[in-house]
């Protein structure tokens, strides 16, 4: 199981959790597993076979868009960060 970090704006979709678990050998498999386990969270970040355009997904510190996208490999020990932009400077 990999650790998935949930951004603050999506924590209500994850029952308030800061981190959840999901499994998969690639980002696609992992996000599909996440969508099965926590549909409210999964559908916010992944839909129609694509990562939602406003969310960045990092596997072990690297943006999957700069690697192999949904085919980027994920290990059991990987940390996956879901990251939308935050605007606040207030």
Partner 1 sequence: MTTYRELLQRTKGEISELDAKTAKETPEGIWVDVREADEWQEGHLPGAVHVPRGYLESRIEGVAADKTQPVIVYCAVGNRSAFAAKTLQELGYEHVHSLAGGFTDWKRNGLEIVLPRTLSPEKRTRYSRHLLIPEIGEEGQLKLLDSKILLIGAGGLGSPASLYLAAAGIGTIGIVDADIVDETNLQRQIAHSLDTLGTPKVDSAKRAIEALNPDVNVVTYRERLTSENIDRILDDGWDLIVDGADNFPTRYLVNDASVWRNIPVVHGSIYRFEGQVTVFKPHEGPCYRCLFPEPPPPELAPSCAEGGVLGVLPGIVGTLQTNEAIKLAAQIGEPLVGRLLLLDALATEFTEVKIERRADCPVCGDHPTITEYIDYVEFCAK
CB nearer to partner 1: give 49 or 88. Answer: 88
Degrees to nearest 5, angle at CA 33 with 74 and 19: 75
Residues lying near partner 1 in the complex (CB under 8 A): 7-10, 18, 44, 53-56, 58, 61-63, 65-66, 81, 83-90
What distance in Å separates the CA atoms of residue 52 and residue 30, rounded to the nearest whole number?
Answer: 15
What distance in Å separates the CA atoms of residue 11 and residue 19, rounded to the nearest whole number?
Answer: 9
Q: What is the smallest separation between the CB atom of 82 and partner 1, expressed in angstroms?
A: 11
Q: What is the smallest separation between the CB atom of 88 and partner 1, expressed in angstroms?
A: 5
């Amino acid at each position: 199981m990999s650790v998935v970090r949930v951004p603050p704006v999506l924590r209500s979709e994850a029952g308030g959790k800061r981190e959840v678990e999901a499994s998969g050998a690639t980002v696609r498999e992992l996000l599909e597993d996440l969508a099965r386990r926590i549909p409210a969270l999964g559908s916010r970040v992944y839909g129609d076979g694509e990562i939602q355009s406003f969310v960045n997904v990092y596997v072990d510190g690297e943006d999957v868009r700069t690697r192999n996208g949904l085919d980027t490999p994920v290990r059991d020990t990987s940390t996956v960060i879901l990251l939308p932009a935050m605007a606040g400077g207030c």
